[in-house]
Amino acid sequence: MSKVALVFPYFRTRAPTEMLFPPLGVATLAAQLRRLEVKTKVFDCTFITLAQLRRELDSYQPDIVGIYSMVSLTRNTLAIAEMVRTSLPDSLLVAGGPLPTVFPRRYTERFDVVFRGEADLSFPRFCLDFFAQGASRATVADLPLDTYAGLFIADGTVQVDNATAHYTESELESFPLPDRSDFDHAAYQQVWLQATGSKVTSIIATLGCPFDCDFCSKPIFGSALRRRSLDAVFAEVEQIRDLGYDSLWIGDDDFTLSPSYLEGFCRRMAGLRMSWSCLSRANGVSDAMVRQMKEAGCRRVYLGLESGSQATLRLMNKQATLDEGIRAVHAYRRAGIEVAAFFLVGYPGETVASIEETFKLALSLPLDEISFNVPFPLPGSRLFERLGGPDEGEDWTQENEVTFVYPSEIDERWLRRRIAETMKAFAQSK
């Protein structure tokens, strides 16, 4: 029988900043494949080793191995692809996820096929057609290649670069819920219980963000905001509760963007006695909305305040003012919701004086958590287009370090010292 293996190539590191969630991309594809009656298994590497993955794949003998990848998982992805090529030479290797979407050509060196963007319908149909045709790598060219959204192939003889899909709200409505059945939920819950006392997992309710921040990359969902129906979202919340979780980490780019949707969500969430957290933007935050969020169990919001300087916010094209940021923090705190704020320091074009304004702002607000990062040109962002990024084959290993990956006029040693001093002052103020 023809089989698909879907691999999430993250191996637990136990770094203090590590957050672990069952990956929704492969769970989503598994649900679509199973709906088509394609035998599918998810291999989540979070709690296993590379050697274990090899053994499990060898015993499963898949015809297609699909691997998720993103900016911090390049090395793992390529190492697994190489391993599969050696141990399962006849299987078709497929890459998907944020980084293959931005750099498909890079992945074609190791993979037969790349899917860019939202692959919910195109990849499962491709698998079905591939199997119907005998599951042979040699005959991929005979498939109707121009009909699969987001397909990218560049193997010398076959060249395909299809437009990506952004599924409409009514298409999303017809999708099955992500299939979380292959994950080690006991292990995930244990990690969260130890760290926070709650069993937290992620969910996505809305897709896309219409803003255009200079440093941001939205490789999969793009700019068009689409909202899943609340019926589907709450069917998924039920599934999550049945698995034993009691808290949600809502991964939407900006969950507070649509007040009417948020209101409906809060109304239905209120009776469930589950806590949740989400990302929010500074603008559009009202006291009434925030009160509803609190009553519905919202424990914490994550706000990208980014800077204490209006001029720097303009450089970032943040489309939110300093005053809006300050008002939003106070509104959330008044309602009893914790606020974690992200700041970017050393933005290209900003000065030591404006960086100091950011440190001052961070210490002046009633925040529960703060973090400072230097800008990283994420592939797919305008910042990346202007400045370029690290070496193509390299991972983003500096993700939580204060290291400029492009020439900057700001002295890194000074910046590290000022961040450390600000973090210390913040900790002492608690």
The reply on whether position 304 binds ligand SF4 by CB under 6 A is: yes
The pattern of x and - marking residues 384 through 423 that bind ligand B12 according to CB under 6 A reads ------------x--x------------------------
Window 142-171: residues binding ligand B12 (CB under 6 A):
none
The reply on whether position 66 binds ligand B12 by CB under 6 A is: yes
Q: Which does 290 bind (CB under 5 to 8 A by kind): ligand SF4, ligand B12, none?
A: none
- 145 vs 311, beta carbon nearer ligand SF4: 311
Count of CB atoms within 10 A of residue 321's CB? 14
The reply on whether position 97 binds ligand SF4 by CB under 6 A is: no
Window 355-384: residues binding ligand B12 (CB under 6 A):
378-380
* Contact in structure between 99 and 379 (CB atoms under 8 Å): yes
Count of CB atoms within 10 A of residue 58's CB? 13
List own/partner pairs for 393-399 with CB under 8 A and 24 or more apart. Answer: 393/74, 393/78, 393/106, 394/74, 395/71, 395/72, 395/73, 395/74, 395/75, 396/71, 396/72, 397/72, 399/72
Rg (CA), the chain: 22
- 266 vs 320, beta carbon nearer ligand SF4: 320
* Contact in structure between 418 and 412 (CB atoms under 8 Å): no
Among 29, 81, 225, 362, binds ligand B12 (CB under 6 A): 29
Q: Which does 304 bind (CB under 5 to 8 A by kind): ligand SF4, ligand B12, none?
A: ligand SF4
The reply on whether position 350 binds ligand SF4 by CB under 6 A is: no
Q: In this structure, which amino acid lies at residue 413? A: R
Window 72-101: residues binding ligand B12 (CB under 6 A):
72-73, 94, 96-99
Find the length of the chain: 430
The least distance separating ligand SF4 from the CB of residue 38, rounded to whole angstroms, comes to 33
* Contact in structure between 117 and 220 (CB atoms under 8 Å): yes
- 64 vs 361, beta carbon nearer ligand B12: 64
User: In Å, what is the CA distance from 413 to each residue of 143, 399, 401, 403?
Assistant: 56, 17, 12, 9
The reply on whether position 342 binds ligand SF4 by CB under 6 A is: no
Q: Which does 245 bind (CB under 5 to 8 A by kind): ligand SF4, ligand B12, none?
A: none
Spatial distance between the Cα atoms of 323 and 312, rounded to a whole number of angstroms: 14
Among 213, 269, 329, 355, binds ligand SF4 (CB under 6 A): 213
Window 98-137: residues binding ligand B12 (CB under 6 A):
98-99, 102, 115, 118-120, 123
The least distance separating ligand B12 from the CB of residue 327, rounded to whole angstroms, comes to 25
Among 33, 45, 68, 124, binds ligand B12 (CB under 6 A): 68
Region near ligand SF4 per CB under 6 A, out of 1-9, 147-155, 212-220, 225-233: 212-220
The reply on whether position 240 binds ligand B12 by CB under 6 A is: no
Q: Which does 94 bind (CB under 5 to 8 A by kind): ligand B12, ligand SF4, none?
A: ligand B12
Positions that interact with ligand SF4 (CB under 6 A): 209, 211-213, 216, 253-254, 281, 304
